[in-house]
Structure 1
């Protein structure tokens, strides 16, 4: 059964990919040397063959001229032919009648060719031709002499070419073996930093010790690779440290509401088991206790949601889109009013377009308004202002609360940080941290200052975007711009 076309190349490719880099370099080096030797061998054979051919032809021409000169002096029939030395040069004289003369004991040459006969008849000056026989091949040079011609011939001998080829083949094999050994050595030496890098990476993976930086050695690509891996380890160290701090801070923040919630629930269970729940806790006290439990559960829910949002970081499926930030602020203010119905929220908004994620921006604005509503007196509104300032969209949330102490300003946006004056207030200490993360993700900046009313002024600067062009619809022959 025939194999489908293309399967063998794919199998060879898979085999090659499974080889180690050291083996690949060795094979490539040996193959490169083998190809180089083969090309050099072919070129040398051609050059040697051409050189031997030229030498033999020149020698035949020279000997033929000497014999032709002697034949013109003594005549073709009487000229003395050099005796056959037993090998090498062969001589023949072509007489005017077409017969030939050769030295005694000389091997029989191939018959006179038609072209050589034309030279003897004076139709051509000279002729160099080759004859390939069953046993031997001949190189024959024919030169016009008197009324006939003289011929000098040599048996073509390929033994020098064969010997040279065998020598080159032996040298080539030695070069290939030597090239493979050299390639193996070079690969082992060149990949030694990679081996040490691999061992260090395996050690880090096994020990989970991200503080063990890999020594910077080698140069060029190896050094850049090591530096990249060290940078990756540093990023992993920072990520692990941030996760550990987040877990520790979360555990600390969850401890107080969980303890309070557990104590209140245990109190209710103990009184219920005794059957003294109604007598020990009057209706007013039970209502206060249940309200307290509800507030604690709500605080835990808010804290869990904020922890989830903070732990996700910038991982979100929400797409970035062009939006009017004023719409986002209005939606956030509506949600804030439902949370704090006793606090007035005054809006002073200008349409400013930005490129961002609507849900993330609304969460940040809502956290800013919630923070201000928590501190603002009931008779003083939370002022929310939005305007364009240069190439930025500026959002300000202003409250009339006690403000932020100068010592607390540098840490306002830290996770779980709560000023001493805010310890008794509800909240997790994560709201402003989420604001800063969202603002930074949108290429903006969040700052805090004291407002003119004595409270806190939280300001967010975001890069403004070009508003979309109005869509024009044609109805009943007139233009209507939809903005």
Structure 2
């Protein structure tokens, strides 16, 4: 029993949640009208009942005064009592000895109450009371007259109230039905944009067509919802287009190294099967070919890593922390020197604290140095400068190469973009694109200009960390060190 009792309250709620919004609005409209009609019926019934009782009591008082005047003139024992009309008013005279007189043929009234006897004895002037002990109750008015009292009574008739209640019940039922119909119509009209929006969303889900925008109709919340969904569809279209372009560009960029790698491997396999590997391919040529294969594998691995990093959507899963950007630049320069031993990297850095992801920032700085290293002539170092400018940390990578043509400047940070002069150099065109994405993720800005040395000047500005936070961190480090 306890488990069933615990489940019962949840059933209406579960039923309500399963209903459509249109059904809910219909039920709410019908219930609102029903409650309104019920409240109006209660108020109207109370007012009507009070008005009928006041009217009946006023009539009883008037009739009692007439009968009392006649009784005082003729005497209580001799006053002529009006004959009983067959229905309606009833009269009675209460004599000093407590006996009563009534017209012949009149139905008997309830016994004289103690309060009415006190009126007859002169203790009170009048009394209005109701008696409901019998099936038919009476409203009895007692008025002092001579040495006794006169009483005029009327049956308490609730039939007008009952008829009024029955009429109100019929009206309430009709109003409920009408309210349900009106609520259904209003719900259908008001939810029509939602229905069309749902149909459009279902069509998009089935056809996978993101180009068809949902018509902007309605107002208020409906319009904001439609605009939000259209914005979402536009974002999905852009994302799908970006994925398609990435896949097409990746396929194009991977095609050349894969083709070269496959041809070289097929050549080795074919010569090995013929048994002419040593004669057809001397040791020096074989070494050069193997070196080429290794270089192609390295290039292919680098491009796959760059594509993977670019396609992940976020810069990294690592958390953001407050760090000294000078440490990141020094670490990236060290890696660049190991990768390009022929290129000199000259550092001119000062301590500037920023909030960022260390690995992502190091990757961006390394890509900047790698890009500059491709263009710097032998004996001309790549200059890397880091300083604070106001509330920003400014990193500059300066090379002494031929510089970037003005026509290529707007597309320097595009994915897979390579200037005509750079197509003979190693690379995939993804390095600076990754730099742009990392800088954007950190709220910074990357620009390109011509260096005073004649080459390219790549400049990155990042928001510097708050001085108070830096002071706390450096103070904590100094305390730990001491």
TM bracket, shorter-chain basis? over 0.9
CA shift, 1:400, in A, is: 1.3
**Which residue of 1 is the match for residue 398 of structure 2?**
398
Distance 1:245 1:126 in 2: 103
**Which residue of 2 is the match for residue 304 of structure 1?**
304
Distance 2:474 2:373 in 1: 42
CA shift, 1:211, in A, is: 1.0
> 349-358 vs 448-457, which deviates more?
349-358
**Which residue of 2 is the match for residue 156 of structure 1?**
156
CA shift, 1:14, in A, is: 2.0
The reply on whether 1:354 has 2:354 as its aligned counterpart is yes
Q: Deviations over 1:397-434 (max 9, x none)?
A: 11111111111111000000000111011111001011
**Which residue of 2 is the match for residue 165 of structure 1?**
165
CA shift, 1:67, in A, is: 1.6
Q: Deviations over 1:161-200 (max 9, x none)?
A: 1111111111111111111111111111221221112111
The reply on whether 1:344 has 2:344 as its aligned counterpart is yes
- In the TM superposition, what are the counterparts of 1:211-360 in structure 2 within 5 Å? 211-314=211-314, 316-360=316-360
Describe the shift of the 1:187–1:471 C-alpha distance in structure 2 as closer, same or farther (beyond 3 A). Answer: closer
SS of residue matched to 2:270 = helix
> 302-311 vs 357-366, which deviates more?
357-366
Q: Deviations over 1:90-121 (max 9, x none)?
A: 11111111111111111111111111111111
SS of residue matched to 1:3 = helix
Distance 1:376 1:8 in 2: 81
> 431-440 vs 43-52, which deviates more?
43-52
Describe the shift of the 1:165–1:399 C-alpha distance in structure 2 as closer, same or farther (beyond 3 A). Answer: same
Q: Deviations over 1:324-344 (max 9, x none)?
A: 211221222222222112222
CA shift, 1:138, in A, is: 0.9
SS of residue matched to 1:103 = coil
CA shift, 1:360, in A, is: 1.6
Distance 1:361 1:111 in 2: 107
Distance 1:246 1:430 in 2: 11
Distance 1:337 1:110 in 2: 121
CA shift, 1:470, in A, is: 3.5
CA shift, 1:377, in A, is: 2.1
**Which residue of 2 is the match for residue 174 of structure 1?**
174
Output the TM-score relative to the length of structure 2. 0.96
Output the TM-score relative to the length of structure 1. 0.95
CA shift, 1:20, in A, is: 1.2
CA shift, 1:482, in A, is: 5.7
Distance 1:321 1:88 in 2: 97
CA shift, 1:250, in A, is: 0.7
CA shift, 1:481, in A, is: 7.8
Describe the shift of the 1:473–1:210 C-alpha distance in structure 2 as closer, same or farther (beyond 3 A). Answer: closer
CA shift, 1:134, in A, is: 3.0
**Which residue of 1 is the match for residue 455 of structure 2?**
455
SS of residue matched to 1:373 = helix
Distance 1:199 1:32 in 2: 31
**Which residue of 2 is the match for residue 106 of structure 1?**
106
CA shift, 1:480, in A, is: 4.9
**Which residue of 2 is the match for residue 411 of structure 1?**
411
Distance 1:40 1:3 in 2: 40
Distance 2:157 2:23 in 1: 44
Describe the shift of the 1:202–1:281 C-alpha distance in structure 2 as closer, same or farther (beyond 3 A). Answer: same
**Which residue of 2 is the match for residue 192 of structure 1?**
192
**Which residue of 1 is the match for residue 430 of structure 2?**
430
CA shift, 1:29, in A, is: 1.1
Distance 1:329 1:70 in 2: 123
SS of residue matched to 1:378 = coil
The reply on whether 1:130 has 2:154 as its aligned counterpart is no
Q: Assess if the C-alpha contact under 8 Å between 2:69 and 2:145 holds in 1.
A: yes
The reply on whether 1:380 has 2:380 as its aligned counterpart is yes
Q: Assess if the C-alpha contact under 8 Å between 1:473 and 1:482 holds in 2.
A: no
> 88-97 vs 335-344, which deviates more?
335-344
> 209-218 vs 440-449, which deviates more?
209-218
- In the TM superposition, what are the counterparts of 1:29-178 in structure 2 within 5 Å? 29-178=29-178
CA shift, 1:5, in A, is: 4.4
Q: Assess if the C-alpha contact under 8 Å between 1:323 and 1:358 holds in 2.
A: yes
Q: How many residues align?
A: 479
Structure 2 gaps of 5+ residues are: none
Distance 1:258 1:119 in 2: 123
Q: Assess if the C-alpha contact under 8 Å between 1:470 and 1:481 holds in 2.
A: no
Distance 1:182 1:109 in 2: 54
> 28-37 vs 6-15, which deviates more?
6-15
Q: Assess if the C-alpha contact under 8 Å between 2:372 and 2:399 holds in 1.
A: yes
Q: Assess if the C-alpha contact under 8 Å between 1:470 and 1:482 holds in 2.
A: no
**Which residue of 1 is the match for residue 210 of structure 2?**
210
SS of residue matched to 2:417 = coil
Distance 1:341 1:411 in 2: 29
CA shift, 1:473, in A, is: 9.1
SS of residue matched to 2:213 = coil
The CA RMSD over aligned residues, in Å, is: 1.8
